[in-house]
Chains A and B, each alone.
Chain A
């Protein structure tokens, strides 16, 4: 049980921002929110993670709701290379924590 809910697919135009939603209504106070993405024919790659505050890195931004029951991954300017399956995952604080993948959101970028 992935314990997160994401839309199956989304579309966006190239060079526009993309907001990928994730619901995690049963999240515990110590669970982090992680995002991974999987490009075609590749293994998943880490994108970003956060606990309570919004986070930014070179790949994306993560906006976390105040009640932590949902979050949004933001790609500020999507390119064709951002077309991938994006996975929202809760937990993974400790070395032995396991990543439970759901089906993720397949993001299509339109040129």
Chain B
């Protein structure tokens, strides 16, 4: 089974520029998450999708961040314009039901963003 794919792996931009990240979840996983992980901290949830609908975007800074999952499969996360404090690793995860009935998240390798 192929894992969660993300691209690019690394991105360096200047502040006020825009950037987009792409995620391809595991086939058949309807639920998809985007997380932001600042150095030294645990991942922080930004947005949750169920198929192509947004379930929770309460932690997404909507003045500059946007995300979409148009066909319920791939997803993109965009930042426009970027700020220095957006430097972080952006993780995508999809969800599968485990054998005991609980749900396990599968994470991609992340995109490391550096804003200069």
Q: Which of A25-52 contact B (CB under 8 A)?
A: 32, 34, 36, 41-46, 49
Residue of A with least CB distance to B101: A93
Inter-chain contact A43/B42, CB cutoff 8 Å: no
Q: How large is the interface on B (under 10, 10 to 19, 20 to 34, 35 or more residues)?
A: 20 to 34
Residue of A nearest to B91 (CB): A43
Judge if B25 is at the interface, Cβ distance under 8 Å.
no
Q: Known contacts being A43-B109, A95-B97, A98-B56, is A32 close to B102, with CB within 8 Å?
A: yes
Which applies to chain A's interface (DSSP): helix, strand, loop or mixed? loop
**Does B31 have its Cβ within 8 Å of any Cβ on chain A?**
yes
Measured between beta carbons, the chain A residues less than 8 angstroms from B14 are: none
Binds B, one of A11-19, A58-66, A72-80, A101-109: A101-109
Asked whether A99 lies within 8 Å of B109 as measured between CB atoms, the reply is no
CB closest chain-B residue, reference A43 = B107
Interface 1/0 per residue, B43-70 and A, CB below 8 Å:
1110010100001100000000000000
- Residues 28-47 of chain B: 1 if any A CB is under 8 Å from the residue's CB, otherwise 0? 00110100000011111100
| Contact size range, A | 20 to 34
- Residues of A near B44 (CB, < 8 A) are 101
Minimal beta-carbon separation of A64 from chain B (angstroms): 14
CB–CB B110/A94 < 8 A: no
Chain B residues with Cβ below 8 Å from A100 are 45
Are B105 and A46 in touch, CB under 8 angstroms?
yes
A42, B92: Cα distance in complex, Å: 11
In the assembled complex, which residues on chain A have CB atoms less than 8 Å from the CB atom of B109? 41-43
A46 in contact with B42 (CB, 8 Å)? no
- Asked if B106 is an interface residue, CB under 8 A from chain A, the answer is yes
CB <8 Å contact, B93 and A43: yes
Q: Interface of A with B (CB < 8 Å)?
A: 2, 32, 34, 36, 41-46, 49, 85, 87, 92-104
* Nearest 3 CB-CB pairings of A with B: A43-B107, A101-B42, A46-B104
